[in-house]
């Protein structure tokens, strides 16, 4: 009886898979463009890839709009489809077609389009009493932004603003580096010209990060509301932004080390802020 029930479930999952052989399918076009341009589709959907990220989306209560499997990943499809809403469209593609669309060098045979929860600047600012705000100002390395998203959620930050020059949060490496935090943690894309007045109106103290010059990290006051600005990996914050800051902090480090990786530096600062709050 158990074997019969299992076989029936397998047949039901297999029946959900709709074969797509042509690259001109509209959903495939949207998936391809979303990956290539690292931006949302015309329907406001984000493209994700890989078993871990799909499972994190599901664990976070994030509904999938369409899920795509390669033909060789049918056994994986049968497993994942038991966790995916029955209304979610499920497509299966020839291996070569699937591999030509996804950005990974070693595809795992599953990708999806989904709509992330969106936040307004006001909604993020309303959380400023819960933890520091992070501002990514010209951060260009996707791995760094993914790490910062993950650390910001882990250490109780309020959210993150992404200003001009910052890598897209929909970049595949950002999504992968965030390890699922992008599905839960508030982020807002905004220009610095729009953001600074909003922070000032809320009485948010602006804190810049620097390699060696500034107030040593252990001496910083972590009184909220507070915004921590993380600048470009090579150039740091622009002069215009630097002039707007209330204070600059420096992480104590060996003099011969030029600077820390932006993701590492932000993580250290966020941990220190959380440690002092608790």
Domain that holds residue 56: 2-114
- Measured in whole angstroms, how far is the alpha carbon of residue 275 from the centre of its chain? 24
Domain-terminating residue out of 72, 90, 114: 114
- Give pTM, 2 decimals: 0.91
**231 and 163 within one domain:** yes
Q: What is the CATH number of the domain that holds 181?
A: 3.40.1280.10
Inter-CA distances, 131 with 9, 41, 156, 240, Å = 46, 32, 6, 26
Q: What is the pLDDT along the chain (278 residues), one digit of tens a residue?
A: 555 444 444 445 557 899 998 878 999 999 999 999 999 999 999 999 999 999 999 999 999 999 999 999 999 999 999 999 999 999 999 999 999 999 998 999 999 999 999 999 999 999 999 999 999 999 999 999 999 999 999 999 999 999 999 999 999 999 999 999 999 999 999 999 999 999 999 999 999 988 768 999 999 999 999 999 999 888 789 999 999 999 999 988 877 777 788 999 999 999 999 999 87
Write the CATH number for 56: 3.30.1330.30
**Listed residues 53, 83, 114: the one ending a domain:** 114
- Residue among 197, 220, 195 at smallest CA distance from 208: 220
């Amino acid at each position: 009886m158990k074997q019969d029930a299992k076989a029936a479930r397998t047949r039901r999952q297999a029946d959900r898979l709709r074969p797509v052989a042509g690259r001109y399918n509209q959903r495939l076009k949207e998936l391809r463009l979303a990956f290539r341009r690292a931006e949302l589709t015309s329907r406001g959907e984000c493209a994700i890839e890989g078993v871990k990220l799909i499972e994190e989306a599901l664990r976070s209560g994030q509904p999938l709009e369409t899920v795509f499997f390669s033909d060789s990943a049918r056994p994986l499809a049968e497993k994942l489809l038991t966790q995916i809403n029955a209304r979610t469209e499920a497509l299966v593609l020839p291996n070569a077609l699937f591999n030509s669309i996804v950005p990974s060098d070693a595809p795992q045979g599953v990708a999806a389009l989904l709509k992330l929860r969106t936040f307004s600047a006001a909604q993020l600012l309303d959380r400023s009493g819960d933890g520091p705000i992070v501002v990514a100002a010209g951060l260009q390395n996707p791995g760094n932004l993914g790490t910062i998203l993950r650390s910001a959620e882990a250490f109780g930050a309020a959210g993150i603003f992404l200003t001009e020059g910052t890598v897209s949060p929909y970049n595949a490496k950002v999504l992968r580096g965030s390890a699922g935090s992008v599905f839960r943690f508030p982020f807002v894309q905004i220009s610095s010209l729009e953001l600074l007045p909003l922070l000032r109106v809320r009485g948010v103290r602006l804190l810049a990060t620097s390699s060696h010059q500034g107030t040593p990290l252990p001496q910083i006051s972590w009184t909220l509301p507070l915004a921590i600005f993380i600048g470009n990996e090579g150039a740091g914050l622009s002069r215009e932004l630097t002039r707007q800051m209330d204070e600059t902090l420096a992480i104590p480090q060996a003099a011969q080390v030029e600077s820390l990786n932006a993701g590492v530096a932000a993580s250290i600062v966020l941990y220190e802020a959380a440690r002092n709050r608790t």
